[in-house]
Structure 1
């Protein structure tokens, strides 16, 4: 029963994310065919992109597979092989308002309204070369990362002191 509930929560989260697709039908078909689709953050959620080496340093792990069980930011995070230039990256889904003011070294906010390649809800392992996959899967509609936990993770990976007064954007 628990496995079914997790699957249902991911599916519900996926339906919610589709609300940010330029074309609902095209995004749904892309998820089924290629395992990822282009969505437009800005209204439903924002995104913060973190260099893979920063997350690996923070968690003391060398790969996304090793990091997956260790990432604890209370929300969905996915890995892309080339999400930070030509370097691997982790993308955390955050409240849209957080992405507008984010300013933590070692990470960047994804530009509001720019397309973002997001894995299908069931892409929870690196099964397709070059396709993003969920390190921390969706946990239902509206489930987003805690900005303070995310900032602490990034700062730990860059060796920067804890969250400054004023929050993640400070």
Structure 2
């Protein structure tokens, strides 16, 4: 773990829901990392989420079985067994320089994951909020 990241296959013990940053920022009504972290901590009841600034994606860790239940096509995705995810060291909790990922809601202990409905609702409402914001910005 020289770089503070372990490459893990999704679908065994966990998987991840990838949600575009614009969805989360639209719901949080903020892009400040601390404010977004507080929003996600509340919305996902302390379940771990990390942000990859370079990809502009949030990753909510959830139960492996969720991949078979995912029904939100489009920009969001529930990563299946064909995906590998770079999972950060638990100490990477602050934005650094450049495009390095960090935990928005830190991983506090193994096995604490999002429930099935929470990331799906977050992604769906975020998509709607982002679309409203883009429409208002165009008007």
Q: Secondary structure at the match of 1:111?
A: coil
| Alignment correspondent of 2:53 | 81
Say yes or no: does 1:119 pair with 2:88: yes
Whether 1:58 and 2:33 are equivalent positions in the alignment is: no
SS in 2 for 1:156: helix
Whole-angstrom distance in 2 between the partners of 1:63 and 1:108: 24
Q: Deviations over 1:105-156 (max 9, x none)?
A: 5411123242111111111111253321111111212100122122222222
| Residues 151-170 of structure 1: pairs in structure 2 closer than 5 A | 151-159=120-128
Partners of 1:100 and 1:139 in 2: how far apart?
26
CA contact (8 A) 2:17 2:119 kept: no
Any unmatched runs of 5+ in structure 2? 130-139
Tell me if structure 2 keeps the 8 A contact 1:100–1:112.
no
- What is the SS of the residue equivalent to 1:91? strand
> Structure 1-normalised TM-score?
0.66
Structure 1: distance between partners of 2:102 and 2:67: 21
The answer for the alignment partner of 1:131 in structure 2 is 100
Deviation track 1:51-110 (CA, whole Å, cap 9, x = no partner) reads 000111111112444301111213110000233xxxx01001110001232122541112
TM-score normalized by the length of structure 2: 0.80
* Structure having greater relative contact order (Cα 8 Å, sep ≥ 6): 2
Report 1:1-170 matches (<5 A). Answer: 30=1, 33-71=2-40, 72-74=43-45, 75-83=47-55, 88-105=56-73, 106-127=75-96, 129-159=98-128
Contact residue 90 and residue 108 of structure 2 kept, 8 A:
no
Q: How large is the RMSD of aligned CA atoms in angstroms?
A: 1.8
